[in-house]
A and B are shown apart, each in its own frame.
Chain A
Amino acid sequence: MTPEGLILGAIAVPLGGAALIAAAHRMPDLREGVTLVAAAALFLLVASLAPEVLAGGRPGVHVAEVMPGIALAFRVEPLGMLFALVASGLWIVNSLYSIGYMRGNNEQHQTRYYVCFAAALASTMGIAFAGNLFTLFLFYEALTLVTYPLVTHHGTEEARRAGRLYLALLVGSSIVFLLIAIVWTWQVAGTIDFVRGGILSGKVSNTTMGILLALYVFGIGKAAVMPVHRWLPAAMVAPVPVSALLHAVAVVKAGAFAVVKVVVYVFGVETISGMTSVDWLPFVAGFTIIAASIVALRSDNLKRRLAYSTVSQLSYIVLAAALLTPLSIIGAALHIATHALGKITLFFAAGAIYTAAHKTEVSQLAGIGRRMPWTMGAFAIGSLSMIGLPPAAGFVSKWYILSGAMATGQWGAVAVLVAGTLLSAGYLLPIVYRAFFLSPAASHGHHEEHGEAPLTMVIAVSVSALGTVALFFFPEALLALSRQLAGVG
């Protein structure tokens, strides 16, 4: 298939899958089969694009001219390729996990769930392959709307309130800040295409550059830079596979991806290095990293702790991008992938614990490692990745970010990164310790007899944990894409 066909197929396949899933409403096994087939097909399509991009090609498709000069168009570049590979690959694992979770917990409205999931993946592919700011914005909004039913899945009052906050913050930030940033960019630059080296050089003053960057960073609410982050812990009310999707695969990574893409392709790294008006970004990112980690430390609810961990880790990517050096840009891109794998593992484990043992608080988890060794083993690997220790993938991306910071003498960033590492150790390692080395009597809540989680969930969590380790040993493909993004080799 031609590259153009592959790009369009990447959007059409999940959408078509969504339609088929809806049609298979009454046949659950067939319906789940459609999801898995769609996920596998999507990954194959996306992977087929990789060789061309790795060789330096940048395939694109022009779909329609919506307004004069503003088109719905796609263009694949290294960062988008990386994001798409991560998202489509993890959809397969997540779908397997969903089957176990939804059936194990007897969830309602499963068809709606799988349909929205597929639509969310289609939107994610649209974001990954967007060739200009308008296309990015279109699929970004679509992603918010399509994940809303997923967040409010349980239909309870709490879910409804969380949904409102989710929508208010994400739609609000994107319409009020991001849209203005995009129209303003269009007006001063005459184009909103993504171009290597940026489209704003020489067109705007120093102050305007700073204001525009602020509008973008706070407008891309999915990147959860404080204070636009509250939607993330609120969204924990959703079923765990949704949280895994939100935190690892689609929504948050779409935000971080968009921030990096805007910095590299709209502003241009060379254009804004040295501009004083963008100096605030590393500080904002650094603050988010530390503050979110502290909140994570103080949260007893496991999902909430992981949510704030994500807020913190996303700002690693933002900070890395803000450091504006090739090494840190490589780290930012890689971190999109490594955090995705690590976090999805952690969430899978959290869901497995909930399904098997009905436990949600960290204080309840004493000794659980004995009953659920696979789950907690995977959790341990995910924790290593978050902290950034070998042999987990997180080590690779953190290495690059740290190197970038040290190479340009940005010691404040180094300090933040080190502090962040220590804090993440502080909120993750105790869980592992508690699970394996404390006896069940030390935990709160009553103890039931329970075993491991359902098989599909265990398979999924093991696969993602394995992936985390594998990425540490074999990062070549993703590393090559990241290097192309940063413009080195």
Chain B
Amino acid sequence: MISSHLPILLVVVPLIAAPVMVILRSGTAAWILAIAVSWTALAIAGVLFAQVAGGGTISYFLGSWPAPWGIEYRVDRVNAYLALLVGVIAAAVSIYSPRSILSEVEPGRRYLFYTMYALCLSGLLGIAVTGDAFNLFVFLEISSLSSYVLIALGRDRRALVAAYQYLVMGTIGATFYVIGVGMLYLATGTLNLSDMAERLPRVTEPRAVLAALAFITVGVSLKLALFPLHLWLPNAYAYAPSAVTAFLAATATKVSVYVLLRYYYSVFGGGAVFLALPMAEILLVFSLAAMFIASTVAIFQDDVKRMFAYSSVAQIGYITLGVALASATGLTAGLVHVFNHALTKGALFLLLGGIALRAGAMRLGSLGGIGRVMPLTCFGIVVGGLSLIGIPATVGFVSKWYLVQAALERGSLSIAFAVVASSLLALVYVWRFVEVAYFREPDAKVAALREAPVSMLVPAWALVAACVYFGIDTDLTLGGAAAAAEQLLLGAK
């Protein structure tokens, strides 16, 4: 009986947990509930992933109102893959956060932190499984609003400004999305995504539809932090609490990539978007810009978290590059990098949180010699860094391989070289960290530090181990990505 309601439970369980946490008002009860909810979400996502692995699609009608009049939740291989990813990251972060926020959020506010976390999780999962355009907006805003609060809970007062900046830009993005949906509704008369896909080819006046495509692209790109709409990301990631940075870096932008793909392929029909319109070229230019410019800016950052935040912008460029290459291989590359980058950045930011907890400051200048006093943390950061560069036996290599393959399939040697050349930029900023951590003598402050606490190291190292494991046994990640890509392309006309 329960199994038939899994799609909605995925969203409702965290959603209900949020007001329960407010009522209970206890930080301890809140984090226990948060862990329970995160692991439940992971379990449900795992079951859904297994159920659709054979190729079926799960359709769930909210309130038993049939589509297209009611709101439908549609789970196929694409969003099951994404929901699984969000579940995995949530599971790791939820175990990590209790110890981490002890030093970053005041005692009186801790239960509120978990409330917002539960809301954010619910929002992200809702975006992943919904099949209704406006419902997607609602969950988009739920996840966004809660992430603004989560970011604002950071220690530094600049977190407030970063949250405000993100609020303004994110709301503009969401509003653009709504404008796009409105135009699609006016043109097709439906809000159900699959119904829209059927009705769009029959629309006689294409201008409104094209405008809708443009608005949706820009709106989602703001959430995706596609260059040059990424300006909110570095500050938001740098000043938010570490658990929040890890969670958002690994999930929020990835879910936005999913939204873009869902619209391009399942609603608009990928062929129309990429062949009839210059979407591929536009995405290509922005992706290459992201890869090179963001990596270069990362090299010159002094704050470690900001450095890796810019690195995220560059890595998102790889994902959109895969999308822009618009072939089965390219789409697989983009999707597998969604998973792989989430694992890598999740691990990196969780480990950096350990440094933030112990050392307080995140400026590279003050972290000299930290590799000696926090060996496990720093070695984990090196492994994550190797994944960013794309060294074989890490997940990053698998993504790079497929990106290069997709570029070569298109006959573009220059794009292939661009992919690998930008990896060298990653080498530079990763090695900046390595040199600071291992080659300098620790000063008195650093020498007094201890290794990060076990409850933080374990989930972080679980993700690091996943980075290596899924770099060698790629059945789950690559198989899931390839299946998702295939399903997207099937839906394309």
Direct contact, A vs B (beta carbon within 8 Å): yes
A160 and B439 in contact (CB under 8 A), knowing A64-B473, A67-B474, A175-B423? yes
Query: Are B404 and A183 touching (Cβ within 8 A)?
Result: yes
A176 and B398 in contact (CB under 8 A), knowing A68-B478, A141-B391, A145-B386? no
Distance in angstroms between the alpha carbons of A171 and B421 in the assembled complex = 11
Query: Are B392 and A180 touching (Cβ within 8 A)?
Result: no
Distance in angstroms between the alpha carbons of A60 and B413 in the assembled complex = 34
A141 and B392 in contact (CB under 8 A), knowing A66-B472, A72-B472, A180-B420? yes
Query: Are A187 and B427 touching (Cβ within 8 A)?
Result: no
Partner of B408, one of A168, A172, A184: A184
Query: Are A176 and B424 touching (Cβ within 8 A)?
Result: yes
Partner of B427, one of A138, A155, A168: A168
Q: Specify which chain A residues have a CB less than 8 angstroms from the CB of B427 in the assembled complex.
A: 167-168, 171-172, 175
Query: Are B435 and A160 touching (Cβ within 8 A)?
Result: yes
- Interface size class of chain A, counting residues whose CB lies under 8 Å from the partner chain: 20 to 34
Q: Specify which chain B residues have a CB less than 8 angstroms from the CB of A179 in the assembled complex.
A: 400-401, 404, 420
Chain B nearest CB from A178 CB (Å) reads: 10
Query: Are B389 and A175 touching (Cβ within 8 A)?
Result: yes
Q: Can you name the residue of chain A whose Cβ is closest to the Cβ of B329?
A: A187
- Interface size class of chain B, counting residues whose CB lies under 8 Å from the partner chain: 20 to 34
Distance in angstroms between the alpha carbons of A172 and B427 in the assembled complex = 9
Query: Are A152 and B439 touching (Cβ within 8 A)?
Result: yes
Q: Is B449 an interface residue (CB 8 A)?
A: no
Q: Is A137 an interface residue (CB 8 A)?
A: yes
Q: Is B65 an interface residue (CB 8 A)?
A: no
Distance in angstroms between the alpha carbons of A67 and B471 in the assembled complex = 9
Q: Is A186 an interface residue (CB 8 A)?
A: yes
Partner of A183, one of B408, B421, B439, B473: B408
Query: Are A155 and B405 touching (Cβ within 8 A)?
Result: no
Q: Can you name the residue of chain B whose Cβ is closest to the Cβ of A70?
A: B401
Query: Are A180 and B417 touching (Cβ within 8 A)?
Result: yes
Contact with B along A358-399 (1 / 0, CB 8 A): 000000000000000000000000000000000000000000
Q: Specify which chain B residues have a CB less than 8 angstroms from the CB of A64 in the assembled complex.
A: 472-473
Contact with B along A151-190 (1 / 0, CB 8 A): 0100100001000100110011001100110011011000
A186 and B405 in contact (CB under 8 A), knowing A152-B439, A171-B427? yes
Residues of chain B in range 474-491 having any CB-CB distance to chain A below 8 Å: 474, 478
Q: Specify which chain A residues have a CB less than 8 angstroms from the CB of B404 in the assembled complex.
A: 179-180, 183
Q: Is B309 an interface residue (CB 8 A)?
A: no
Q: Is A134 an interface residue (CB 8 A)?
A: yes
Query: Are A145 and B391 touching (Cβ within 8 A)?
Result: yes
Q: Specify which chain A residues have a CB less than 8 angstroms from the CB of B106 in the assembled complex.
A: none
Chain B nearest CB from A182 CB (Å) reads: 9
A172 and B424 in contact (CB under 8 A), knowing A141-B391, A179-B400? yes
Residues of chain A in range 433-449 having any CB-CB distance to chain B below 8 Å: none
Query: Are A187 and B408 touching (Cβ within 8 A)?
Result: yes
Q: Specify which chain B residues have a CB less than 8 angstroms from the CB of A66 in the assembled complex.
A: 398, 471-474
Chain B nearest CB from A30 CB (Å) reads: 22
Q: Is B131 an interface residue (CB 8 A)?
A: no
Contact with A along B379-423 (1 / 0, CB 8 A): 000000010011111000010111011001100010011001101
Residues of chain B in range 212-259 having any CB-CB distance to chain A below 8 Å: none
Query: Are A176 and B401 touching (Cβ within 8 A)?
Result: no
Distance in angstroms between the alpha carbons of A134 and B398 in the assembled complex = 11
Query: Are B417 and A176 touching (Cβ within 8 A)?
Result: yes
Q: Specify which chain B residues have a CB less than 8 angstroms from the CB of A171 in the assembled complex.
A: 389, 424, 427
Distance in angstroms between the alpha carbons of A98 and B473 in the assembled complex = 38
Partner of B401, one of A72, A160, A183: A183
Distance in angstroms between the alpha carbons of A175 and B393 in the assembled complex = 14
> 29 A–B contact pairs at CB < 8 A?
A64-B472, A64-B473, A66-B473, A67-B401, A67-B478, A68-B478, A70-B401, A134-B392, A141-B391, A152-B439, A155-B439, A160-B439, A167-B427, A168-B424, A172-B424, A172-B427, A175-B389, A175-B390, A175-B420, A175-B427, A179-B400, A179-B401, A179-B420, A180-B404, A180-B413, A183-B404, A183-B405, A183-B408, A187-B405
B contacts, CB < 8 Å to A: 386, 389-393, 398, 400-402, 404-405, 408-409, 413, 416-417, 420-421, 423-424, 427, 431, 435, 439, 471-474, 478
Contacts A66-B472, A172-B424, A180-B413 known; 12 new A-B pairs at CB < 8 A: A66-B471, A67-B398, A160-B435, A168-B427, A171-B424, A175-B420, A176-B421, A180-B408, A183-B401, A183-B404, A183-B416, A187-B409
A contacts, CB < 8 Å to B: 64, 66-68, 70, 72, 134, 137-138, 141-142, 145, 152, 155, 160, 164, 167-168, 171-172, 175-176, 179-180, 183-184, 186-187
In the A-B complex, the 4 residue pairs with the smallest Cβ-Cβ separation, listed nearest first, are A138-B392, A183-B404, A176-B420, A175-B420
